[in-house]
Amino acid sequence: FCFFFFFFLCCLLCFHLVVSSAVLDVYKVRGEGQVKVYLEKTPVILDALERRLFKTRHRTLDDKHAINLPDTGNVPDASRRSARAFSSTPVNQLALSQMLDALRVYWCNDNQYRPYASAGGMYPIQTYLLAYQVEGLEKGTYLYDPHSHKLLSRGNTPLPQIENLSAGNKEWIGDAHFVLAFALNLPDIVTLYEGSSLPFGPLEAGSMAQLVDNYAAKAGNGTCHIGELSPSRNKQRYGTE
């Protein structure tokens, strides 16, 4: 079984979890009932202006007993930005390789090393590439091998029109050059962590996404995370069981 965390890269970067009905009961988190009640009674803001005002509102905190921390003088790297406008030029393989450097396996002092954490050092997240406009790559699905830094062709199912991947972002995702999908491979972790395996998946995928974001920015490419994606036909699309 695989659970997918999606990322549109070099155009958009998205996040989505697909849970099969067979194991739905496993994915229960503390406070799930309270969240459901809150969602049911909280109205969704649909007006564009009201949504923008909500995003830019000032969030006040009670600082009566606040403790000032020492100023370190550190200057943050502000190169990472969410992008929703992209070049019509296909992504070249060097730029793609530079982004996937964030996920590859390195060797340090005779030990394997990856620049992000994983529960128990298991690294059960697999990375799939949906190539739409990548120089030198046929349009299709590929599995990334972090050990060899290679792309392995997967699946015979034609890719869907990229505009149809996210109904809420149709106006701009059509310019996306490719999609990254992170899949949690349960056999690699569930025998150690049982039901906790699913919460560990988003934690690891989030770390991976942040790294890819940073590496993409250094390569001069824009990314954007998308939280809404149709889960239909994912297994066929990625050639998984």
At 24 the pLDDT is 35
pLDDT value, residue 12: 41
Mean pLDDT, contiguous 10-residue spans, the chain (241 residues)? 52 39 42 76 87 85 85 83 80 92 91 92 91 92 95 82 75 82 86 85 90 88 73 53 49
Q: What is the reported pLDDT for 151? A: 96
Give pLDDT, residue 16: 38
Return the pLDDT at 121: 92
Burial letters 139-150, b for 16+ CB under 10 A, else e: ebbbbbebeeee
In this prediction the pTM is 0.77
First to last CA, the chain: 6
**Could you tell me the two tokens for 11?**
């155009």
pLDDT at 22: 34
**pLDDT at residue number 109:** 86
The predicted pLDDT at position 59 comes to: 80
pLDDT at 32: 64
**Residue 60: per-residue pLDDT:** 80
What region, left, alpha or beta, does residue 10 occupy, with left being phi > 0 and alpha being psi -120 to 50 degrees?
Answer: left
